[in-house]
């Protein structure tokens, strides 16, 4: 009995890193009905669209069907799912949680509380690749989602990103971004997109331990100001397209989301 009590005390006081630590800090509390929570670790299993991971992620096609499959875990990445493009320029794919035309996040502008999206993702090759991941429009078929708030690294002509960018798009308008100042590479990073209030007019992002950057509907206060936050329904997901005659990939280790303030 004493051993069990000691073990429980140890877990509470010295939680494991990763999801347990996030829960211990109160960032996600799955025991509270007022918190919407999901956590996806991409443990090895089916690579069939609508049966991927714990929640049945969908694989969508951009130009030519991507390859969907799990890749080797590492000491800090248990369960990694790879979205791999063809070798044809302009082709790629989308990994997303949606049921077709509707995403599960109904409207960022009317959320009942603050939201967080955590992603641990690696861009497998940063040269000649076009990547976006975060909250994206449901039922997408293009490298630029018609609506969304997401991280981007896109080296195509007209973009030429060298750093990761925090971006938004609303109703197919011009994609607008703020530079995170974090240089893109092929390593896994923990990306965090979040708000600090309900009905957010400002959205923030960090990468690992970087300082936050933000975009806002207000006229001042962020690197991107006087912008529009999308009102369409969105889903968690990632997009990768090759911009050369070689395959490019996104590796997904973890996705998590929390929305506070639900009345249930």
What is the Cα–Cα distance from 69 to 256, expressed in whole angstroms?
Answer: 20
What is the Cα–Cα distance from 244 to 179, expressed in whole angstroms?
Answer: 24
Question: Can you point out the beta strands (E) in 170-242?
Answer: 176-183, 189-194, 202-207, 213-216, 234-242
Q: Is 142 exposed, middle or buried (0-12, 13-18, 19+ CB in 10 A)?
A: middle
Give me the pLDDT at residue 51, please: 92
Give me the pLDDT at residue 263, please: 83
- The tokens for 221 are 């206060």
What is the Cα–Cα distance from 237 to 133, expressed in whole angstroms?
Answer: 6
Q: What is the model's pTM?
A: 0.88
**CATH 2.60.120.200: which residues of the chain?**
36-259
**Rounded mean pLDDT, 62-89:** 92
What is the Cα–Cα distance from 13 to 224, expressed in whole angstroms?
Answer: 40
Residue 243 confidence class, pLDDT cut points 50, 70, 90:
very high
The half-sphere exposure of 131 on its side-chain side, counting CA atoms within 13 A, is 30
Position 3 pLDDT exceeds 60: no
Q: pLDDT per residue over 83-109, tens digit each?
A: 999 999 999 999 999 877 788 898 998
Q: pLDDT per residue over 28-57, tens digit each?
A: 566 678 899 999 999 998 999 999 999 999
Cα torsion angle, 98, 100, 106, 107, sign = positive
Q: Enter the CATH code of domain 36-259.
A: 2.60.120.200
Position 112 pLDDT exceeds 80: yes
The one-character DSSP state at 6 is H
């Amino acid at each position: 009995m004493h051993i069990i009590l000691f073990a429980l005390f140890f877990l509470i006081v010295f939680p494991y890193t990763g999801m347990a630590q996030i829960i211990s800090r109160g960032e996600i509390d799955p025991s509270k009905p007022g918190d919407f929570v999901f956590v996806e670790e991409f443990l090895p299993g089916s690579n069939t669209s609508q049966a991927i991971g714990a929640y049945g992620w969908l694989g969508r096609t951009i130009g030519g069907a991507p390859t969907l499959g799990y890749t080797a875990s590492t000491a800090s990445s248990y369960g990694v799912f790879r979205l791999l493009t063809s070798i044809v320029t302009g082709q790629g794919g989308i990994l997303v949680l949606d049921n077709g035309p509707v995403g599960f996040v109904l409207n960022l502008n009317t959320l009942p509380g603050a939201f967080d999206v955590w992603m641990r993702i690696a861009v497998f090759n940063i040269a000649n690749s076009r990547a976006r991941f975060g909250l994206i429009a449901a039922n997408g078929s293009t490298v630029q989602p018609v609506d969304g708030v997401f991280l981007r690294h896109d080296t195509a002509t007209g973009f030429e990103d060298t750093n990761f960018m925090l971006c938004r798009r609303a109703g197919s308008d011009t994609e607008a971004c703020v530079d995170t100042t974090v240089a893109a590479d092929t390593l896994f990073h923990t990306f965090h997109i979040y708000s600090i209030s309900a009905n957010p007019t400002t959205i923030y992002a960090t990468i690992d331990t970087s300082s936050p950057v933000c975009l806002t509907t207000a006229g001042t206060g962020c690197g991107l100001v006087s912008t529009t936050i999308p009102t369409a329904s969105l889903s968690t997901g990632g997009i990768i397209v090759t911009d050369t005659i070689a395959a490019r990939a996104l590796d997904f280790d973890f996705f998590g989301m929390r929305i506070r303030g639900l009345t249930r």
